[in-house]
Amino acid sequence: MKREIVIPGEQIDCLKIGRGCFEENGKFYSKFFGVIDRKEDNFVNILPLNGKYIPKVGDKIVGIIIDAQFSFFSVDINSPYKASLPLSETQNRFDYNNKLNVGDIIHANIIRITDDKSIQISMKNGAFRKLVGGIVIKIMPTKVPRLIGKNGSMIENINNKTNCKTTIGQNGFVFVSGENEKLCIEIIKYIDKNAHEDGLTNKINEMLGELNEK
């Protein structure tokens, strides 16, 4: 199915609107330059093709520690807003073999956002950890769902064919480690650039097929 691209202020033909839309005089319009995402009952969201990551409580993110203070770490989460990781919200905080340092890459989730947009994150859940032995790259946060694919199908296929492991943050940071990191990163960047195009899955399968021919 051909993807519908709209510009800010363009009228949208639908019955119900969601994210990225607004109503005026009984008609619906796009807020962004983006792709129309049509759901059941003619319900529409607009998926922006550009823009900064806007944090939400519950988001799972990949971050880079940029400063260490007595009781917390400052973390780059690819957002205009400040993020902090309190020492009390880290895993194994008394295990000095796993302590965090500036430059470390972490997987965490957002647990609090204050009125002044200060972001607090946590690693206390067992699913979150320090990420080692790989590379972190950045994609547009709005392209993350396309990279993951329906029920995780896209990224699972990429991981299996490249023998890589990926940790994808909803903030657009992606951590890649494994046997064919270079190809895995190349494919992820291709999806980031071409997420709105038709036939993307077939193109990715072609790129992965070339690996098997080598």
Q: Give pLDDT, residue 47.
A: 76
Same domain? For 73 and 109 the reply is: yes
Asked whether residue 139 falls in the same domain as residue 107, the answer is no
**Backbone φ/ψ region at 135: left (φ over 0), alpha (ψ -120 to 50), beta:** beta
- Domain residues for the domain of 141 are 135-213
Residues 66 and 30 in one domain: no
**Does 55 map to a domain?**
no
From 131, 156, 187, the end of a domain falls on 131
Task: Using 50 as the pLDDT threshold, list the residues of the chain that sit under it.
Answer: 1
- The CATH number covering residue 93 comes to 2.40.50.140
What digits encode the pLDDT tens for the residues 18-55? Answer: 878 888 898 989 887 778 888 777 788 887 766 678 88
Q: Which of 104, 131, 158 is the last residue of a domain?
A: 131
Q: Report the pLDDT value the prediction gives residue 1, as an integer from 0 to 100.
A: 46
What is the spatial distance between Cα 136 and Cα 165, in angstroms, rounded to a whole number? 12
Predicted local distance difference test score (pLDDT) of residue 117: 80
Query: SS3 of 200, please?
Result: helix
Tally of domains within the chain: 3
Judgement on whether residues 90 and 120 belong to the same structural domain of the protein: yes
pTM for this model (two decimals): 0.76
CATH code where residue 169 lies: 3.30.1370.10
CA nearest neighbour of 196 among 12, 9, 24, 35 = 35
Listed residues 102, 131, 160: the one ending a domain? 131
Specify whether 140 is located in the same domain as 208: yes
